[in-house]
Every structure is written in structure tokens, then in C-alpha cells.
């Protein structure tokens, strides 16, 4: 059975409060954190991008079992913030990490679900010639300055090494649900994405998340009560809780992987960071439900079941999600503005 061999996460240490962003633009700041359900967000430094975040996350994935990167036969990198429009992110990361050259390397883009799409695609490649594969979700989330999206768009990366032996969590099943729903977009000539405001909720996020989730629950004949934990894509602090409630999952099932309130929404890394935070505290033989979401629009839903080897992994994992969340440095908006100016040469 295909499953997770190891995983790693990287969260930049810089944090800023949404109220500071709102205040910098002369907008109402009181109560904005509570309204969004986001109290701090992670901010990439001026010398960090989707590549550097992904490399750090993958190095953290290699450490617990001293995994040899030369064993990896394929890599996908899901991101909405690839540094180059024409030049693959995957080969850059592979070169930095010292992966072998007889390698399938692919960049993926499907808004915030590009990382989970990589897990699905690579799961079908694991076999005799590709014993181990690497799926990454990494984003320095983009947002137009002064847009409400700037208050939630965060930065982080998550890397998952997949294989068929010595797994810490098996993939029992998965499925996808997609439609042409233009709720979030950026044309090639534009610097920042646009979105449909309140229309990004009911006809897009909830339609696809509940659609994918119900299909998988029916397919596997499982109920929400059969799962110890659940993780949903976290664009803000309210949507995943509402989706969970509609599907019959509890706040307690969501709690371990509910990272959005502390780091914001790192797009392609969002649900994968939530899964990692859940695996950090899960026990063997527990089921975890995961459903990602990507604008445009679609969702990937998964059923994972942890194995006894997870306990050994947890003993050797010194870069847990919570330890990185706590390792932080608060900044003001002047540094964020400096990063924007440097990146976009404004």
C-alpha cells in the first residue's frame, strides 16, 4: 500500500498581525483578527521564495530517518508562486538537494491544491523503478497590497516522501472533484491575483470541499466518527470549521491541524501543513481525513491511516509544526512593504 515514508515542514519565523496590515492602509483594524479567524500570519524574508522554503521543508523530511535523497525517483512541486514563469522549480530543488538526474521532475499549479495533486499523481508512479517519490507544496502567498487577502496570505512549505514500505501513514483512498468556477485568478501580465470576494465561499470553496468529501466518504463507506482527525484547506479561520460542521466533523477533530490562525494561508502548503501538524501528535492506527481546495476550482480528498512506525518518526522529528510556529519574530508592516518593493521592483 502506498503511504507516507516521511514528511517535513518549513515555516518562516517572521510573523505579522492582520490588524497591523489594516492599520498601515488606514482601514478599520479593531476586531479584524477575530473576524478572519487569523491572529498572525507567517511572512517570508526578502531572501526566501517557494524554492528556498521547499528545500528547507525537504531537508526536514530527510532528517528523522536519515533518508538518502538519491533514492527519490520523481518530484512534483505544487505552487502558486513559482519564482520563474518559464524555468522549472522542481529541477532547481532537485539540484540543490542532490537528487539523481534520471528523475521525473514536474511543476504543478492548481491554486491551493497543487501540493495534494502531486501526492495523487505520484502515488501511481511508485513501483519497481521509482521506489520513492517526493511531493511538495510551497508558497509565498501572493496578494495585492491593501486587499483583504493580504491579511491572510501566508508563507510555508510541506514535503512528503512517499513509498510502499516502512510507511508512517498509509493512503487508504483518495478522489477529486473539479469544475470551472472563476473565483480567483491572475492573468500572465498581472502582478497580483484577483478574487470574487464573497463569491469565493458558497459556490466555490464549500461546493468543492463538501463535494469531494461526500464522494470519498460514500466511496469508502466511512463516517466522520470513524476518523480521529480531519484537515481541510484553510483560507481563513471560518471556512474549514463551517465545512467540517456541514460534513459532521467536530472542532476537536480539526484542532491539531488547524494552523491558519497562527500562520495564515500558505496556499499550496495549507492542508499539507495541517496534515503534518496532525501527524506530529497522532497515534498508530488512527484515521485522518484530509480535503484540500484550489480556486478555479477543485478539491482533493484523502483517507490516511497511521502505522506503528509513526511513533519512531515522532521521536526523531525535531522540527514539528508547533515548534516552528512558536519559533517566531514579530515584525511591522515596513518589512513587508520592503519585500514587496524588492520583489516587484515597484
Mean pLDDT, contiguous 10-residue spans, the chain (346 residues):
97 97 91 96 95 98 96 97 95 97 96 97 89 97 89 97 97 97 82 73 89 98 98 96 98 98 98 98 98 96 98 98 98 84 67
Domain that holds residue 287: 170-308
23 and 81 co-located in one domain: yes
Known catalytic residue: 151? no
Known catalytic residue: 28? no
**Closest listed residue to residue 188, CA positions, set 300, 66, 85, 100:** 85
195 and 284 co-located in one domain: yes
Contact between 320 and 280 under an 8 Å Cβ cutoff? The reply is: yes
157 and 174 co-located in one domain: no
**Closest listed residue to residue 321, CA positions, set 287, 250, 284, 270:** 270
CB atoms within 10 A of CB 73: 21
Q: What is the pTM of this model?
A: 0.96
125 and 77 co-located in one domain: yes
Res 341: pLDDT: 73
Long-range contacts of 337-340 (CB under 8 A, 24+ apart): 337/24, 337/145, 338/46, 339/43, 339/44, 339/45, 339/46, 340/145
315 and 298 co-located in one domain: no
Distance (Å, whole) CA 253 – CA 20: 31
Question: CATH number of the domain that 272 lies in?
Answer: 3.40.47.10
Catalytic position from the list 233, 291, 305, 319: 233
**Closest listed residue to residue 319, CA positions, set 327, 311, 331, 308:** 327
Helix, strand or coil for residue 315?
helix
55 and 87 co-located in one domain: yes
Contact between 60 and 9 under an 8 Å Cβ cutoff? The reply is: yes
Q: How far is CA 331 from the centre of its chain?
A: 23
Catalytic position from the list 80, 150, 151, 195: 80
Q: What one-character-per-residue DSSP string does 236-280 give?
A: SSSHHHHHHHHHT--HHHHGGG--HHHH-B-GGGHHHHHHHHHHT
19 and 140 co-located in one domain: yes
Res 289: pLDDT: 99
The domain total for the chain is: 2
19 and 143 co-located in one domain: yes
- How would you label 185-200 residue by residue, b for 16+ Cβ within 10 Å and e otherwise? eeeeeeeebebeeeeb
Res 34: pLDDT: 95
Strand partners, 77: 107, 136
According to DSSP H, which parts of 124-224 are helical?
A: 207-220
Q: What one-character-per-residue DSSP string does 46-64 give?
A: TT--HHHHHHHHHHHHHTT
Res 183: pLDDT: 85
Start-to-end Cα distance in the chain: 50
Known catalytic residue: 80? yes
Q: How far is CA 102 from the centre of its chain?
A: 27
Catalytic position from the list 82, 112, 150, 151: 112
Amino acid at each position: 500500500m502506498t503511504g507516507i515514508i516521511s514528511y517535513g515542514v518549513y515555516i518562516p519565523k517572521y510573523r505579522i498581525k492582520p490588524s497591523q496590515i489594516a492599520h498601515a492602509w488606514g482601514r478599520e483594524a479593531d476586531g479584524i483578527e477575530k473576524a478572519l479567524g487569523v491572529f498572525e500570519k507567517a511572512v517570508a524574508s526578502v531572501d526566501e521564495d517557494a524554492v528556498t522554503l521547499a528545500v528547507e521543508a525537504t531537508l526536514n523530511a530527510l532528517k528523522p530517518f536519515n533518508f538518502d535523497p538519491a533514492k527519490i525517483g520523481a518530484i512534483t512541486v505544487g505552487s502558486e508562486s513559482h519564482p520563474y514563469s518559464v524555468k522549472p522549480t522542481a529541477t532547481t530543488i532537485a539540484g540543490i538537494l542532490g537528487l539523481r538526474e534520471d528523475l521525473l521532475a514536474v511543476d504543478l499549479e492548481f491554486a491551493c491544491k497543487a501540493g495534494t495533486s502531486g501526492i495523487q499523481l505520484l502515488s501511481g508512479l511508485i513501483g519497481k523503478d521509482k521506489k520513492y517519490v517526493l511531493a511538495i507544496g510551497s508558497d509565498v502567498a501572493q496578494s495585492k497590497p491593501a486587499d483583504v487577502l493580504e491579511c491572510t496570505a501566508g508563507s510555508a512549505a510541506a514535503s512528503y516522501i512517499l513509498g510502499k514500505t516502512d510507511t508512517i501513514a498509509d493512503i487508504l483512498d483518495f478522489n477529486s472533484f473539479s469544475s470551472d468556477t472563476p473565483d480567483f485568478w491572475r492573468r500572465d501580465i498581472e502582478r497580483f491575483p484577483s478574487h470574487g470576494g464573497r463569491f469565493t465561499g458558497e459556490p466555490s470553496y464549500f461546493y468543492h470541499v463538501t463535494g469531494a468529501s461526500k464522494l470519498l466518504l460514500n466511496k469508502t463507506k466511512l463516517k466522520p466518527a470513524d476518523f480521529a482527525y480531519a484537515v481541510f484547506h484553510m483560507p481563513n479561520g471560518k471556512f474549514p470549521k463551517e465545512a467540517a460542521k456541514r460534513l459532521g466533523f467536530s472542532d476537536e477533530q480539526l484542532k491539531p491541524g488547524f494552523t491558519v490562525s497562527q500562520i495564515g494561508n500558505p496556499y499550496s502548503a495549507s492542508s499539507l501543513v495541517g496534515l503534518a501538524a496532525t501527524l506530529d501528535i497522532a497515534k498508530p492506527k488512527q484515521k485522518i481525513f484530509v480535503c484540500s481546495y484550489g480556486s478555479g476550482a477543485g478539491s482533493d480528498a484523502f483517507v490516511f491511516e497511521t502505522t506503528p512506525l509513526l511513533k519512531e518518526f515522532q521521536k526523531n522529528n525535531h522540527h514539528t509544526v508547533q515548534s516552528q510556529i512558536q519559533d517566531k519574530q514579530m515584525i511591522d508592516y515596513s518589512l513587508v512593504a520592503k519585500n514587496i518593493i524588492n520583489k516587484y521592483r515597484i
